[in-house]
Amino acid sequence: MTDRPVAIITAAGSGIGAGCACELAARNYDLVLMSRGDSAPLLAEELGAKAIQGSVLETADLEQLVETAMSAYGRIDGVVNCTGHAPHSSSAIGRGYDPDGETHLLDIPDDDWHLILDLYFLNVVRMARLVTVPMAAQGGGSIVNISAFSAIEPHGAYPTSAIRGALTGFTKLFADRYGADNIRMNDVLPGFLDNYTWPESLIGSVPMARSGGVAEVATTVAFLLSADAGYVTGQTLHVNGGWYA
């Protein structure tokens, strides 16, 4: 049993997931990371963490991630559900971004909707099933779900983000049910981040007149995992420079 806090992070090999891993490592967390490829294991080597290769779409991989943490450290204090993106085998509309800005909403096939349901919503439900019992047994824990601005403000360029609204509802339901067990769940909704190239017109619509940094999301996640946020649960926290404020 470690004396340091323990966190697991999915989609941890790049982007927000990797940023969260670096931030939590700097705060002396013991980490177990997961990514589809070898990026999370490579990052884990740099950070002195543990890692597995796996997908949030596979329950067996999530089980392995949790078991790795429990076997190594005997507890899980924090979970960062960082989904990543849909596999490249899915259609462009299914992945969510339509570069022409046309919704084509009714042309999205059922298979794409089911894939995004698995990727944006059911992965969080499955993770909650795995970590809630050990968290309750150890006296509590914190789960942070990385969502997106389009969960609250749907945009035609990201039609499948309609699924993210289900995650918002689940987070509130989970917080209501397990708050008495000192298990917290919150959503973080990033805006336009500088790890992606956005049209100037979009950045110009942000009140702070700039894109955000992955590190700014990571420090927000670290706060929500910490005891400093011990009375914060069931919340949707926007990290978007005031966009759609």
Query: In the prediction, which pLDDT does 105 show?
Result: 80
Question: Domain 6-239: which topology?
Answer: Rossmann fold (3.40.50)
Scan for tokens 């924090």, then name that residue: 78
Answer for the pair 33, 13: CB distance below 8 angstroms, yes or no: yes
Amino acid residing at 234: G
Tokens 């929500």, residue? 224
Cβ neighbours of residue 24 closer than 8 Å, sequence gap 6 or more = 7, 9, 31, 78, 218, 222, 225
| Beta pairing, strands 141-146 & 78-82 | parallel
Taking the domains of the chain in order of start, what are their residue ranges?
A: 6-239
Residue pLDDT, tens place only, 2-36: 799 999 999 999 999 999 999 999 999 999 999 99
Prediction pTM value: 0.91
Hey, how many other C-beta atoms are within 10 angstroms of the C-beta on 178? 20
